[in-house]
């Protein structure tokens, strides 16, 4: 049984997969397995994953029809055998010492526990310099972690999935899974389930994870993200309907999500409408050929 199971879901992200897998291969702690879940990709994901598996017996590829990120992670959990679980999206990567440093603190306790760390955001965006990076040091309030997660997620608190290293008993004994019905924010929903068990939370103050920001990712679609977050919060409201304090926190969170996402999406919609009006006005006085080209640029 390996000490760490790494779960890498991949859907049409073959161009990033090598960097992600190499960050696992470079770990200073070597007792791990890496499960690449090919979630119905139409690119070179399958052949790349099989190539990695052919070169290192600790890596294997599991393929399934496209079911989404939550289902791919759940499939990885079903396939895993490690004592600890590392989730790693195919376009992100981790530092070489991540397993070693986090296992050092996790192995000091027999309690149900998790560890998390600092991270940096890498902007893979042609508008920004390719080398542009920012470091983030998120902190869960150790005295009221569940309340902190419920009230401050995406405001004062944001922790990428691969910052964590989890005790596998969350998923084996507690049977926690990602909700496959949620279009997004399935990670927040899963962390809410985990923190409900009142685990020991161990912070490692090192920058051990890199989150790749891409402008074409789903997180850039604020309307879709808003709808998903609202569904996730409403689900948690039902789960905590008998807990007056948590229910009140989640009601306030729902209000903030509806308000703040609307505030974020309105300027973008105003911009799109104005852009369309400019294109229509300018194209009216252009030759027909140029007019067709200009109109093709309209969103």
Structural domains in the chain, sorted by start:
4-220 (3.90.550.10)
Q: Give the C-alpha separation, 108 to 106, whole Å.
A: 5
- What does the pLDDT read at residue 215? 64
- What does the pLDDT read at residue 299? 47
Which residues are CB-neighbours of 139 under 8 A, at least 6 positions away?
157, 203
- What does the pLDDT read at residue 272? 53
With contact defined as beta carbons under 8 Å apart, do 120 and 25 qualify?
no
Residue 297 phi, psi dihedral angles, 5° rounding:
-85, -15
- What does the pLDDT read at residue 127? 59
- What does the pLDDT read at residue 9? 98
- What does the pLDDT read at residue 262? 72
> Mean pLDDT, 10 residues at a time, over the chain (299 residues)?
97 96 98 98 97 97 97 98 98 97 98 97 68 85 95 93 98 98 97 97 97 70 89 97 97 93 56 54 58 51
Q: Nearest 5°: CA angle at 233, between 231 and 235?
A: 70
- What does the pLDDT read at residue 283? 58
Helix (H, G, I), strand (E, B) or coil at 206: strand
- What does the pLDDT read at residue 114? 98
- Determine the longest span between alpha carbons in the chain, in angstroms: 75
- What does the pLDDT read at residue 278? 55
Cross-strand partners of 37: 9, 62
Q: Give the C-alpha separation, 128 to 252, whole Å.
A: 35
Residue 47 phi, psi dihedral angles, 5° rounding:
-65, -35
Q: Give the C-alpha separation, 274 to 42, whole Å.
A: 36
- What does the pLDDT read at residue 292? 57
Phi/psi zone of residue 154: left (φ > 0), alpha (ψ -120 to 50 degrees), beta?
A: left
Q: Which residue shows structure tokens 């890496």?
A: 34
**Listed residue (96, 39, 79, 82) closest to 63, CA to CA:** 39
Helix (H, G, I), strand (E, B) or coil at 144: coil
**Listed residue (279, 274, 282) closest to 298, CA to CA:** 279
Are β-strands 165-167 and 84-87 bridged in parallel, bridged antiparallel, or unpaired? antiparallel
Cross-strand partners of 157: 153
């Amino acid at each position: 049984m390996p000490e760490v199971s790494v779960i890498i879901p991949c859907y049409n992200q073959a161009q990033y997969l090598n960097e992600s897998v190499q960050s696992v291969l470079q770990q200073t702690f070597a007792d791990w397995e890496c499960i690449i879940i090919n979630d119905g990709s139409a690119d070179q994901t399958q052949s790349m994953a099989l190539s990695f598996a052919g070169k290192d017996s600790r890596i294997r590829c599991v393929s399934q029809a496209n079911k989404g990120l939550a289902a791919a992670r759940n499939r990885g959990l079903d396939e895993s055998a490690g004592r600890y679980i590392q989730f790693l999206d195919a376009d992100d990567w981790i530092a070489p010492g991540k397993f070693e440093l986090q296992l050092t603190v996790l192995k000091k306790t027999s309690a149900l526990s998790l560890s998390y760390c600092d991270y940096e955001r890498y902007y893979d965006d042609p508008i920004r310099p390719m080398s542009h990076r920012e470091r983030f040091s998120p902190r869960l309030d150790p005295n009221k972690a569940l309340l902190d997660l419920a009230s401050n997620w995406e405001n004062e608190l944001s922790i990428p999935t691969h910052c964590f290293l989890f005790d596998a008993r969350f998923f084996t004994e507690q049977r926690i899974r990602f909700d496959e019905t949620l279009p997004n924010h399935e990670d927040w929903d899963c962390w809410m389930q985990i923190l409900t068990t009142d685990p020991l939370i161990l912070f490692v103050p090192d920058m051990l994870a890199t989150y790749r920001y891409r402008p074409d990712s789903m997180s850039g679609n604020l309307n879709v993200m808003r709808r998903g977050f609202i569904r996730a919060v409403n689900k948690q409201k039902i789960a905590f309907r008998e807990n007056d304090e948590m229910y009140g926190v989640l009601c306030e969170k729902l209000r903030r999500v509806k308000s703040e996402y609307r505030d974020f999406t309105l300027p973008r919609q105003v911009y799109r409408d104005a852009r369309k009006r400019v294109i229509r006005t300018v194209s009216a006085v252009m030759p027909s050929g140029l007019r067709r080209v200009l109109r093709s640029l309209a969103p």
